[in-house]
DNA sequence: CCCTCCAGGGAAAACGTTTTCCCTCATTTT
DNA sequence: AAAATGAGGGAAAACGTTTTCCCTGGAGGG
C-alpha cells in the first residue's frame, strides 16, 4: 500500500490522473447526468477512489454558500435529556448527510448570541435551538434567511417559528388527573424558571386542571429556587418541603428537579415518602430511579423530526409545529430509603 | 433599527463603507500591526460593527487550509460519562476559539471511518477520539498531518500518539485493595469488551493485584456479555450472578454496567446485596445511586487537557501522554431494596 | 540636496469547488 | 444534402478570504 500524500488531494489531482478536466470530475462526483460517457465516469471514479478523494468542504461551502452542518444550541448539556435529544439528532442528521455541531449556551443570552453569530459566519445549514432564551441575535436573525428550529421551548417572544416538542398542557393535565385519581390531596409542584415556555405551560395547565376539578392550589405548594441548575432547585425545594407537613405527591417539572427533591427528602429522613413525578423520563430512570414516575419525552423521535424540520424550512413549509407523543410512565418501585413502601 | 441585508455581508461591503481596500479590512480584523493608521483602524472597526460583519469561515478555511473546528468522535453518546467529557470539551474549546462537532461512532469501525474521512474533508483542526476503535482510516490517517488525540482509550494498535486519561491500573489496584481491606472474599468483576485499552488495563491490573496478595481469581467470577450496551452487559451478568452463591462485592468496569448489575440483583430479589463498585462516577451518582462507589474520572479536567493537547500537537510536542487524577468515591448509602444494609 | 527607509495601503493571486457558457462531433430530421 | 439536435467535455468565472508584492509620500540621515 502506497503512503498517501501528506498534502490533501484536490480535484485537480483527480482530473490529471483521469485525464479529464476538473469540470468533468466535479460533474461525475456530483452525479450530474448526461455530461459524461460511461467510460469517462468509470475512469474518474477509479481515479477518485485510488486517491481517496473527497471534496474539501470549504470549496463547496464557498461556492454553494452553505455547508452540510447543523448547529444544535442546547441550553444545558448537563441535563441528560438534552444530550439524549442531541444524540438522536446526531444520528438522524448523519443519515441525512449532515454533521452536528453541538453548543452549550448555559441558558444565557450572551453565549446564545455568540453562537448564533458564529454559526451564521460558518454558514450553518440550520440552527436548532434546544431550549432557546431571549437574546438580541435571536431577534435579528428572524429577518435573515437563517433556518431556525425551536425544540422543547418555543420562541421566547412567541414569534411564529418551527417548533418540535410535546403537548405540555396535555401531559400536565394527565399528571394532575393521576394525582387526583390516586387520592393525593397535598400535591407540591416544583419548577425551574418560567421563562421557559415548556415550564410555563406545564405549571399553568396543572394548576388550571386542579381548579377545574374544584381543588384549590395553594401558593406555598408551588416551589422554585433561583438557579439554572435543576438538581439544586430540586434540592432546595425539597429541603423546604421536608420542614413542613409532608405532601402526598411531588410533581417536578423535570427529572433532574425530581432527583434533587428525592435526595433532599432522603437526607432529611422524612417518615413517609411522597410519590414523585417528573418530566422527561431520563433514559436511566428504569435503572436507577424506580421510584420516579415521569412523562416520557420520545427522545429518539426528535432526531428524525429535526431533520424533517430542517428540510421543510428549506423548501416552503416554514413554521410548522410538530407535536410528538408523550407517555406517562408510572413506576411503583421502592420509594424511600427505609423500604416502607406505602402500598 | 435597520433591517439587515438578507444576503450575508462580505468583506467587500465593509471595505466600501470604510472607504478602504479589502486588504486593509482583512488586516484590521486580524490585528496585523503596522499596516494601518489609528484613524483607519477606527473607521474599519466602525464599519464592521455597523454591518455586524464577521468573516465567512469558508473563505478563511480555503485560504488558511484549516477551520477552527474540532471533531469529537465518541464511541457511545448514550453513556453519560462520554457526554460529560464532551460537555467539558465544548466549553474549553469555545474559550479557545474552536467549535466542537460531536459524532457518535457507536463503537463501530465503519462509522469511525466515515467520520474520519468527513472530518478530513472538512479540514477539522483536530480530531478527538473518545473511545477509539481499530479501523482502516485510523491507520491511514497516521501518515497524514491530521492531529489526533486519544481520550480514555489508547490507540487500538498501541501506536504512539497523544493520550488523555486516568491511570487505570492504579485505580484498579486501589479498588482491589479496598475490597481486600473490607474483607470481601468473593469479588465478581464485570466488564465490557477488552478491545478497549481502558477495560483491559483495569481488569488485568485488578487480577494481578489479587494474585499478588495471594488471592486466587477464579475465572467464573469474571463476567461479561456480548454487547456494546453496558447496561445490558451489567443486567445479563447480574442475572447470572444472582443464580449463584452471592458475591461480597461486584466491581463493574463502568457505572452503566454497575447500574445493570444493580437492577438485575434488585429484580432477582437477592437476599444480601453485595457492595457495588464502578468506574467513571456518573455525575448523577450522588443523586440517584448512593449505593455505588466509583472511581471518579475528572470530567471537567478533560476539556482543558484536550485543548492543551490540540495545541501541543500543533506546535511540536506530538504524542504527549496526560494522566489525569482520579478519585475513589466511596458511598455508604442504602444498598438494597429492602434496606437491610449489612454494616 | 540626495538617498534611504518606513509607515500606510492597494492590486492581485491563490485556496478548491461548482456551474455557466461555449465548442466539437456525430446522429437524426427535414 | 443541409440543418437541427444532442451528447460529451473543456475554459473560465465566481464564491470570500489572506497575504505577497508593489507603490507612494514623507521623514530622517548623510
Contact A86 B80 (CB under 8 A): no
| Model pLDDT, residue A150 | 97
* DSSP secondary structure of B25-92: HHHHHTT-TTSS-HHHHHHHHHHHHHHT----HHHHHHHHS--SEEEEEES-TTSHHHHHHHHHHHHH
Which member of A145, A288, A334 has the closest CB to residue B289? Answer: A288
Q: Which stretch of A65-74, B1-10, B224-233 has the lowest confidence by average pLDDT?
A: B1-10
Helix (H, G, I), strand (E, B) or coil at B262: helix
Contact A4 B143 (CB under 8 A): yes
pLDDT digits 0-9 by tens, B85-129: 999 999 999 999 999 999 999 999 999 999 999 999 999 999 999
* Cell 472511581 sits on residue: B295
Chain B residue numbers touching A58 (CB-CB < 8 A): 58, 61-62, 67, 122-123
Distance B23 CA to D10 C1' (A): 33
Q: Distance, in angstroms, between B141 CA and closest chain A CA?
A: 9
Domains contained in chain A, number: 3
Q: Distance, in angstroms, between B334 CA and closest chain A CA?
A: 7
Contact B338 A339 (CB under 8 A): yes
| Model pLDDT, residue B316 | 56
Interface A–B counts its CB contacts (< 8 A) at 156
Would the pLDDT of B338 be above 60? no
Which member of A3, A62, A145 has the closest CB to residue B143? Answer: A3
Would the pLDDT of B336 be above 70? no
What percent of chain B clears pLDDT 70, i.e. is strictly above it? 93
Is A253 found in the same domain as A201?
yes
* Phi/psi at B261 (5° precision): -60, -45
Is B181 found in the same domain as B293?
yes
Contact A83 B99 (CB under 8 A): no
| Model pLDDT, residue B244 | 84
Residue B52 lies in a domain: no
Mean pLDDT of chain A: 92
Chain B residue numbers touching A287 (CB-CB < 8 A): 231, 259-260, 262-263
Mean pLDDT of chain B: 92
Is A202 found in the same domain as A156?
no
Which member of B59, B77, B287 has the closest CB to residue A231? Answer: B287
Find out whether B263 and B285 touch, Cβ atoms under 8 Å: no
Which member of B4, B101, B123 has the closest CB to residue A144? Answer: B4
Q: Distance, in angstroms, between B283 CA and closest chain A CA?
A: 9
**Nearest chain B Cα to A90, which residue?**
B103
Which uninterrupted H or E stretch holds B109?
helix B109-121
Q: Which nucleotide is nearest to A22 (CA to C1')?
A: D10
Distance B35 CA to D27 C1' (A): 17
Which member of B122, B143, B144 has the closest CB to residue A57? Answer: B122
| Model pLDDT, residue B315 | 60
Is B311 found in the same domain as B285?
no
* Cell 428504569 sits on residue: A286
| Model pLDDT, residue A271 | 81
Residue A187, all three cell numbers: 400535591
Three-state SS across chain A? Answer: CCCCCCCCCCHHHHHHHHCCCHHHHHHHHCCCCCCCCHHHHHHHHHHHHHHCCCCCHHHHHHHHCCCCEEEEEECCCCCHHHHHHHHHHHHHHHHCCCEEEEEECCCCHHHHHHHHHHHHHCCCCEEEEECCCCCHHHHHHHCCCCCEEEECCCCCCCCCCEEEEECHHHHHHHHHHHHHHCCCCCEEEECCCCCCHHHHHHHHHHHHHHHHCCCCCCHHHEECCCCCCHHHHHHHHHHHHHCCCCCCEEEECCHHHHHHHHHHHHHHCCCCCCEEEEEECCCCHHHHCCCEEEEECCHHHHHHHHHHHHHHHHHCCCCCEEEECCEEECCCCCCCCCCCCCC
Q: Per-residue confidence at B314, pLDDT binned at 50, 70, 90?
A: low
* Phi/psi at A50 (5° precision): -60, -35
Contact A123 B59 (CB under 8 A): no
Q: DSSP H helical segments within B255-340, as ranges?
A: 255-268, 285-288, 299-315
Is A270 found in the same domain as A241?
yes
Would the pLDDT of B206 be above 50? yes
| Model pLDDT, residue A317 | 55
Contact A62 B65 (CB under 8 A): no
Contact A77 B57 (CB under 8 A): no
B274-to-A192, B144, B279, B339 alpha-carbon distances in Å: 37, 50, 16, 13
Q: How many CA atoms lie within 13 A of B143 on its CB side?
A: 12
Distance B13 CA to C9 C1' (A): 18
Contact B61 A58 (CB under 8 A): yes
Is B314 found in the same domain as B272?
no
Is A304 found in the same domain as A286?
no
State the CATH number of the domain containing residue A305.
3.40.50.2300
Closest residue (CA to C1') to nucleotide C14 in the complex? B63
User: Is there contact between A337 and strand C, defined as CB under 7 Å from any strand atom?
Assistant: no
**Nearest chain A Cα to B114, which residue?**
A94
B64-78 burial, b at 16+ Cβ within 10 Å, e below that, comes to eeebbbbbbbbbbbb
Contact A4 B59 (CB under 8 A): no
Q: Which nucleotide is nearest to B15 (CA to C1')?
A: C10
Q: Distance, in angstroms, between A298 CA and closest chain B CA?
A: 15
Residue B4, judged by CB atoms within 10 A of its CB (0-12, 13-18, 19+), counts as: middle
Chain A residue numbers touching B62 (CB-CB < 8 A): 56, 58-59, 62
| Model pLDDT, residue A336 | 44
Strand D positions within 7 A of protein Cβ atoms: 6-12, 14-20
Is B246 found in the same domain as B176?
yes
Residue B60 lies in a domain: no
Residue A52 lies in a domain: no
Is A207 found in the same domain as A177?
yes
Contact A94 B103 (CB under 8 A): yes
pLDDT digits 0-9 by tens, B245-291: 889 999 999 999 999 999 999 999 888 899 999 999 999 999 999 99
Q: Per-residue confidence at B330, pLDDT binned at 50, 70, 90?
A: very high
| Model pLDDT, residue B3 | 40
Is A175 found in the same domain as A157?
no
Q: Which of B298, B313, B338 is the last residue of a domain?
A: B298
B interface mutation test: which of A57, A78, A135, A290 has the most B CBs within 10 A? A57
| Model pLDDT, residue A143 | 81
- Give bridge partners of residue B296 from the DSSP assignment: B280, B327
User: Is there contact between A57 and strand C, defined as CB under 7 Å from any strand atom?
Assistant: no
Which residues fall within 8 angstroms of residue A49, CB to CB, at 6 or more apart?
A: none
Q: Identify the domain containing residue A152 by its residue range.
A: 65-165+299-324
Nearest to B161 by CA among B326, B325, B322, B324: B322
Would the pLDDT of B77 be above 90? yes
| Model pLDDT, residue B91 | 98
| Model pLDDT, residue A316 | 56
Residue B190 lies in a domain: yes
| Model pLDDT, residue B57 | 97
Residue B115 lies in a domain: yes
Nearest to A164 by CA among A302, A299, A281, A296: A302
Q: Distance, in angstroms, between A325 CA and closest chain B CA?
A: 22
Low-confidence stretches of chain A (pLDDT < 70) are: 1-6, 313-318, 333-343
| Model pLDDT, residue A313 | 65
Contact A99 B118 (CB under 8 A): yes
Find out whether B174 and B137 touch, Cβ atoms under 8 Å: no
Is B206 found in the same domain as B320?
no
Residue B45, all three cell numbers: 472597526
Distance B139 CA to C3 C1' (A): 61
**Nearest chain A Cα to B118, which residue?**
A54
Instruction: Tell me the mean pLDDT in the region B318-323.
Output: 87
pLDDT digits 0-9 by tens, B156-186: 999 999 999 999 999 999 999 999 999 999 9
Residue A330 lies in a domain: no
Is A84 found in the same domain as A14?
no
Residue B240 lies in a domain: yes
Give, rounded to a whole angstrom, the gap between the first and last alpha carbons of chain B: 70
Residue B251 lies in a domain: yes
B160-175 burial, b at 16+ Cβ within 10 Å, e below that, comes to ebbbbbbebeebbbbb
Strand C positions within 7 A of protein Cβ atoms: 7-12, 14-20
Amino acid at each position: 500500500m502506497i503512503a498517501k500524500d501528506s498534502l490533501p488531494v484536490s480535484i485537480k489531482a483527480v482530473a490529471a490522473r483521469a485525464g479529464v478536466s476538473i469540470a468533468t470530475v466535479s460533474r461525475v462526483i456530483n452525479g450530474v447526468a448526461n455530461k459524461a460517457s460511461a467510460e469517462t465516469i468509470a475512469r474518474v471514479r477509479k481515479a477518485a477512489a485510488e486517491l481517496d478523494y473527497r471534496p474539501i468542504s470549504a470549496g463547496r461551502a464557498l461556492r454553494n454558500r452553505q455547508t452540510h452542518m447543523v448547529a444544535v444550541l442546547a441550553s444545558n448539556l448537563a441535563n441528560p435529556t438534552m444530550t439524549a435529544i442531541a444524540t438522536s439528532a446526531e444520528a438522524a442528521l448523519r443519515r441525512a448527510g449532515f454533521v452536528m455541531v453541538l453548543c452549550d449556551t448555559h441558558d444565557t443570552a450572551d453565549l446564545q448570541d455568540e453562537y448564533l453569530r458564529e454559526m451564521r459566519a460558518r454558514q450553518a445549514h440550520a440552527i436548532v435551538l434546544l431550549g432557546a432564551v431571549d437574546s438580541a441575535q435571536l431577534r435579528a436573525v428572524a429577518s435573515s434567511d437563517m433556518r431556525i428550529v425551536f425544540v422543547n421551548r418555543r420562541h421566547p417572544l412567541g414569534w411564529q417559528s418551527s417548533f418540535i416538542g410535546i403537548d405540555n398542557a396535555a401531559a400536565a393535565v394527565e399528571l394532575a388527573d393521576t394525582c387526583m385519581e390516586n387520592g393525593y390531596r397535598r400535591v407540591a409542584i416544583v419548577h425551574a424558571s418560567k421563562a421557559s415556555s415548556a415550564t410555563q405551560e406545564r405549571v399553568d395547565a396543572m394548576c388550571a386542571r386542579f381548579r377545574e376539578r374544584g381543588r384549590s392550589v395553594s401558593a406555598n405548594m408551588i416551589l422554585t429556587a433561583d438557579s439554572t441548575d435543576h438538581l439544586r432547585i430540586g434540592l432546595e425545594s425539597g429541603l423546604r418541603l421536608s420542614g413542613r407537613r409532608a405532601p402526598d405527591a411531588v410533581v417536578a417539572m423535570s427529572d433532574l428537579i425530581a432527583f434533587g427533591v428525592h435526595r433532599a427528602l432522603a437526607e432529611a429522613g422524612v417518615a413517609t415518602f411522597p410519590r414523585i413525578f417528573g418530566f422527561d423520563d431520563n433514559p436511566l430512570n428504569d435503572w436507577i430511579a424506580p421510584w420516579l414516575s415521569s412523562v416520557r419525552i420520545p427522545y429518539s423521535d426528535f432526531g428524525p423530526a429535526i431533520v424533517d424540520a430542517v428540510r421543510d424550512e428549506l423548501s416552503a413549509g416554514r413554521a410548522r409545529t410538530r407535536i410528538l407523543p408523550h407517555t406517562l410512565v408510572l413506576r411503583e418501585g421502592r420509594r424511600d430509603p427505609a423500604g416502607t413502601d406505602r402500598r
